[in-house]
Amino acid sequence: MSEDTIFSKIIRKEIPANIVYEDDLCLGFRDITPQAPTHILVIPKKPIPKLAEAGTEDKELLGHMLLTVKSIAEQEGLGNGYRVVINTDEDGGQTVFHLHMHLLGGRYLRWPPG
């Protein structure tokens, strides 16, 4: 069984969030501590703790999430570019153990990221 996270509570609407996208498979909402003018998190409704624990059965879900990020980026007017980040495990900077994709944009994003 997966740990109950803040993202699980957002999915269940127990915690409010500024939701910009929702379908049967995933949810997109604005990050409460944005690192760029546009910072949206896209999370699966299926509780996958981290990318390292996704299986081959999640292939369609992961593809759907990436296409959702693309759609949200278009909706947000990020035609000049954006970055998609998946942090995995503690050394990768993951703080909430529910798989999520960060959509960052609205400014020039330097490389390397940090």
Residue 105 has φ and ψ, to the nearest 5°, of -170, -175
Rounded CA gap, 21 and 16, in Å? 14
- In the three-class reduction of DSSP (H, G, I as helix; E, B as strand; rest coil), residue 85 is classed as strand
The answer to whether residue 39 is catalytic is no
Catalytic residue among 39, 98, 100, 102: 100
- In the three-class reduction of DSSP (H, G, I as helix; E, B as strand; rest coil), residue 96 is classed as coil
What residues are labeled active site? Answer: 100
